[in-house]
């Protein structure tokens, strides 16, 4: 089992998004929350969300964001229903907890409804997400850890410290791999592949520019960097598919989030440039 070195700076890495609390600086989970109508955001986050909608004119940013959250809920519901009891939500952000316009529940509660004894690990670099996570989730079977996903020994130590890694784990990487460079994302997935037991499942949603005007996508990434002070990497379908290479893709393969287990009730999905999604198994 790898040892935990809790300080990414000691490993030569910059600290991850939101690692120091600063309400004047927009951070990914709060901008994401502002797009979903969350009430616990700051002016900088709401301004960043509004500016992203302006820059990505023609792209239904709020609907695409909501659809990312809804697809993750469907995936967790399905996997818990199939008998999975251990979950690691890496880059999980602040639990939804119905604190949004669409009354979306948090993933830990969705899993708990199917598996009351489920074990849940929420890991994020952002101190405000982690603090809210501890307050909102708490209770039996939940661990919340502040860690940078690029600090692999720390991530692996959190997994081993809170889950039984000799048994299958569902790893959720929702809307987070696009904050890592391709080598960083690949290293994380390689490390997960090496550490996870057979039967484990990885769920990924990832920003893509597919289907959108390239100039608009470029302008969006540039605006995101300016507003948040961090890089964001929308990727092609081929690149996002490549991240699953060591795992066995489950049907329906690499799809837009709106195509994953489409709900038979509720608002009609809005097509457009999107998050792509895959669910894959560690054989």
Q: Report the alpha-carbon distance of residue 214 to residue 235 in Å, rounded.
A: 11
Q: Report the alpha-carbon distance of residue 24 to residue 45 in Å, rounded.
A: 8
Interaction of residue 18 with ligand SAM, rule CB under 6 A: yes
- Please choose, out of 24-32, 79-87, 195-203, 252-260, the segment that lies near ligand SAM by the rule CB under 6 A: 24-32
Interaction of residue 125 with ligand SAM, rule CB under 6 A: yes
Of positions 52, 88, 93, 142, contacts ligand SAM by CB under 6 A: 93
CB of 148 to ligand SAM, least distance (A): 4
Of positions 88, 145, 149, 277, contacts ligand SAM by CB under 6 A: 149
CB of 106 to ligand SAM, least distance (A): 9
Return the closest-CA partner of residue 18 out of 242, 228, 277, 234: 228
In the structure encoding, which two tokens stand for residue 70, read together? 């809804």
CA 254, 85, 132, 67 torsion-angle sign: positive
Q: Is residue 15 helix, strand or coil?
A: coil
CB of 80 to ligand SAM, least distance (A): 17
Of positions 25, 41, 55, 68, contacts ligand SAM by CB under 6 A: 68
- DSSP state letters, 157-188: HHHHHHS-TTS--EEEEES-GGGS-HHHHHHH
Give residues in contact with ligand SAM (CB under 6 A).
16-18, 28-29, 32, 68-69, 72, 91-93, 124-126, 129, 148-150, 174-176, 179
């Amino acid at each position: 089992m790898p040892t935990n070195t809790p300080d990414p700076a000691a490993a030569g890495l910059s600290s991850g998004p939101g690692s120091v609390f600063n309400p004047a600086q927009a951070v990914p989970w709060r901008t994401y929350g502002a797009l979903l109508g969350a009430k616990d955001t700051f002016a900088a986050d709401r301004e960043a969300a509004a500016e992203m909608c302006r820059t990505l004119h023609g792209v239904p940013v709020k609907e695409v964001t909501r659809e990312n959250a809804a697809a993750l809920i469907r995936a967790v519901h399905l996997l818990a229903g199939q008998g999975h009891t251990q979950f690691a939500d890496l880059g999980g952000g602040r639990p939804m907890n119905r604190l949004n316009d669409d009354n979306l529940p948090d993933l830990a509660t969705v899993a708990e409804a199917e598996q009351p004894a489920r074990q849940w690990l929420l890991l994020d670099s952002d101190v405000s997400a982690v603090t809210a996570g501890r307050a909102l989730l708490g209770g039996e079977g939940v661990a919340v850890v502040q860690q940078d996903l690029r600090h692999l020994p720390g991530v692996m130590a959190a997994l081993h410290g809170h889950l039984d890694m000799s048994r299958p784990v569902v790893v959720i990487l929702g809307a987070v791999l696009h904050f890592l460079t391709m080598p960083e994302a690949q290293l994380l997935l390689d490390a997960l592949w090496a550490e996870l037991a057979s039967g484990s499942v990885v769920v990924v949603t990832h920003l893509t520019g597919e289907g959108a005007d390239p100039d608009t996508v470029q302008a969006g990434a540039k605006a995101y960097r300016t507003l948040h002070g961090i890089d964001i990497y929308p990727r092609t379908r081929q690149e996002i598919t490549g991240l699953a290479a060591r795992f066995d893709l489950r049907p329906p393969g690499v799809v837009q989030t709106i195509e994953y287990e489409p709900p038979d009730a509720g608002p009609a999905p809005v097509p457009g440039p999107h998050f792509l999604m895959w669910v894959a198994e560690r054989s």
